[in-house]
Amino acid sequence: MYMNTKKIIFGNLKSNKSSNQMREWFVDFKDILAKDSKKSVSGEKPFSKIDAVLAPAYPFLHLVNENSTETGLVLGIQDISSYPAGSYTGAISVQNLVGLGVKYTLVGHSERRKYFSETNEIVAKKITQALSADIIPIVCVDEGSLDDLAVKVSAEDMASCMVAYEPSGAIGSGENAALSDVKSFGKKVRTLFGDVPYLYGGSVDESSAAEYLLVTDGVIIGTASLDAKQFVSLLKSAQGENPVGL
């Protein structure tokens, strides 16, 4: 079983940004850190108290990897192929990711289910592929997919996963779920899968992240991660620091 000791802030950039925009994002991100480091006397690496994860579009994975030491960011991916390496045109297999330092992958995100017709059978295969490469799956579920997932995925595999509650109405809508609902859903997750790390995703921003972190092991950030300044502010808050002056 994966033992989570840090809160996870997972920035999901989805299919946004060009190459130039991604580089500009990192310039802004590092500029803020540089200004903040001048005020700090602790000497700690950025975001040492949390797992600050960034999942860009596939062409930009190397940028996160190359900047990980300086920024304190951990590399995540938004999806993974349900097939191994081979003749699967357009797929990104676990073999393609070797050497990039990928730690986490989202699996079964609501947008994958909605726009790409992914089922829990496919999700189960993706979990197996991720675990074969020691990549930790963050399995996204809602009320309608939770029970079926427990049937489709082996208990052994689920014990090595994290589970993220993604109410479909909250994704990209600006309408986040009530804290009581998130807490209640977490109890259902633990009943089915044991003491797995539990995250929440759905219109989380810097004003709401802190309260969700009280009842979860982490949050998935979409829109709020697109702006480097806002993402740094959120990460600082999650780490228990005052947000950087923006």
Q: Could you list the active site residues?
A: 109, 166
| DSSP element (H, E) containing 116 | helix 110-116
CB-based contact 7:218 (threshold 8 Å): yes
CB-based contact 201:167 (threshold 8 Å): no
Tokens 């676990």 — which residue?
Answer: 94
Q: Is 103 exposed, middle or buried (0-12, 13-18, 19+ CB in 10 A)?
A: middle
Read off the DSSP letter of residue 171: T
Inter-CA distances, 95 with 71, 132, 133, 168, 244, Å:
26, 10, 8, 31, 38
Cβ–Cβ contacts within 10 Å for residue 87, how many?
6
For 99, list phi and psi in degrees, rounded to 5: 90, -5
Compute the distance between CA of residue 202 and CA of residue 219 in angstroms, rounded to an integer.
9
What single-letter amino acid sits at 225?
S
Compute the distance between CA of residue 186 and CA of residue 112 in angstroms, rounded to an integer.
22
Q: Residues, the chain, total?
A: 246
DSSP 3-state assignment of 5?
coil
Closest of 144, 72, 18, 219 to residue 64, by C-alpha: 72
